[in-house]
Amino acid sequence: MEFTFSDEQRMMRKMVRDFAEKEVAPEIQRMETEDRFPVEIVRRLGELGLMGIPIPEEYGGSAMDYTSYIIALHELSKVSATVGVILSVHTSVGTNPILSFGSEAQKQKYLPKLASGQYLGAFALTEPSAGSDASNLKMTAKPTGDGYLLQGTKMFITNGGYADTFIVFGRTSQEGGYKGVSAFIVEKDTPGLHIGKTEKKMGLHGSSTVQLNFEDCYLTKEQLLGNEGDGFKIAMANLNAGRIGIAAQSLGIAEAALTHSVAYAKQREQFGRPIADQQGVSFKLADMATKVEAAKLLTYQAAFLRSKDKPCGKEASMAKLFASKAAVQAAIETVQIFGGYGYTKDYPAERLFRDAKICEIYEGTSEIQHMVISKHLLQD
């Protein structure tokens, strides 16, 4: 396993780090207090070539490998997990399904717009009664002869209020479970697609999470992604890789928690000396640093495998499971190290805690990652 970054990847890391510190950090307060979607930051992500990092040049992307994309998510999430999730959903599950499963005409039509940031992508799998058990989805996509008619509701759709395209999953036949599920590319202005309730969330303030309602929403045959019945395969293929993105987001949060904790522990004095001199505090820092390092190795291992088109389902789940837990634990300890100040909104500790928690839930909860990993172990 090769863990050395290339010169190009190091340049990407520096560029994203500088952008995050100079342009994203000043916007955090506004995202937190106004819950405002950062349209200007998304526009800048496009200008910097970050909205299509792993997309080939012929489709208007930056043509870099998956590891470079993970580096960008890691760096952005150190500063803002909100910006991290916007980019992660847009790329991993909003754009990649078209690259992997789209017809040439679909690729030509959508990828240049998505990769340049002119379009924002979203992914609509979850429903009110189908979350972890996504194969139980109820949405229908009834064949009508010349197209499909979508009926149903999607839940918790990231980027939903601002997205231009949605990868939507519905049943084209009434076979049970994953059979009969098909994927579609749906444009935002399609008649019958209604953007519903915007969720008020614990964290990730500024990211858009909405319900989508489809009422007699007519799609042409050209909007079918892959073949009829391929939908579940498409969803799972992209979620596998998407989990590496959530691992990178978690890693960014955990590393930010560690950085803030070390700085605070060195300057905050109690009992006549910095609290960092107390073993009760310094051992917490040592534990956090060890978990951050382990999360980094798992995340980049999965990213390197994905970059080389090697199977990485187990490694992606392990990275997401471990890194998300590390982020939650690190953020809890950060609140503790900051004491009473950590419980206030004047310091970043409480935001890191609120942002970390979702990483154990979306793109497959920790319980689902355990199921995926154990299935690999018992089948291999």
How many other CB atoms are found less than 10 A from the CB of residue 59? Answer: 21
DSSP state of 199: P
Is 237 near ligand FAD (CB under 6 A)?
no
| DSSP labels, 106-170 | HHHHHHHHHHHTSS-EEEE--BTTBSS-GGG---EEEE-SSEEEEEEEEEEEETTTT-SEEEEEE
Piece of the chain touching ligand FAD by CB under 6 A; list 12-20, 33-41, 201-209, 333-341: 201-209
Output the smallest distance, CB 186 to ligand FAD, in A.
13
Is 214 near ligand FAD (CB under 6 A)?
no
For 78, the enclosing helix (H) or strand (E) is helix 66-79
Is 186 near ligand FAD (CB under 6 A)?
no
Applying the rule CB under 6 A, the residues between 63 and 102 that interact with ligand FAD are 89
Closest residue to ligand FAD, judged by C-beta, is 131
Output the smallest distance, CB 200 to ligand FAD, in A.
11
Is 125 near ligand FAD (CB under 6 A)?
yes
Query: C-alpha angle 21/165/300, rounded to 5°?
Result: 45
Output the smallest distance, CB 87 to ligand FAD, in A.
13
Among 88, 91, 96, 126, binds ligand FAD (CB under 6 A): 126
Output the smallest distance, CB 156 to ligand FAD, in A.
3
Query: C-alpha angle 297/255/334, rounded to 5°?
Result: 135
Applying the rule CB under 6 A, the residues between 343 and 372 that interact with ligand FAD are 358, 361-365, 367-368
Number of shown-chain residues binding ligand FAD (CB under 6 A): 21
Output the smallest distance, CB 100 to ligand FAD, in A.
17
Which candidate, 326, 301, 192, 362, places its Cα nearest to that of 250?
A: 326
Question: Among the options 32, 315, 363, 367, which is catalytic?
Answer: 363
Active site residue 23: no
Residue 310 has which token pair?
Answer: 């090697």
Nearer to ligand FAD, 22 or 375 (CB): 375
Residue 70 has which token pair?
Answer: 């993970």
Which candidate, 129, 85, 159, 93, places its Cα nearest to that of 324?
A: 85
CA separation, residue 339 to residues 260, 269, 333, 347 (Å)? 13, 12, 10, 11
Q: Pattern of binders to ligand FAD over 245-284, x per CB under 6 A?
A: ----------------------------------------
Nearer to ligand FAD, 22 or 36 (CB): 36
| DSSP labels, 8-51 | HHHHHHHHHHHHIIIIIGGGHHHHHHH----HHHHHHHHHTTGG
Is 289 near ligand FAD (CB under 6 A)?
no
CA dihedral 286, 301, 245, 236 (to 10 degrees): -130
Among 156, 264, 322, 338, binds ligand FAD (CB under 6 A): 156
Q: What is the Cα–Cα distance from 213 to 205, expressed in whole angstroms?
A: 23
CA separation, residue 147 to residues 58, 153, 183, 221, 317 (Å)? 29, 19, 13, 5, 36
Is 175 near ligand FAD (CB under 6 A)?
no
Output the smallest distance, CB 41 to ligand FAD, in A.
18
Length of the chain counted residue by residue: 380
Nearer to ligand FAD, 239 or 258 (CB): 239
Output the smallest distance, CB 290 to ligand FAD, in A.
26
Is 322 near ligand FAD (CB under 6 A)?
no
Active site residues: 363
In the complex, which residues of this chain contact ligand FAD (CB under 6 A)?
89, 123-126, 131-132, 156-158, 201, 204, 209, 358, 361-365, 367-368
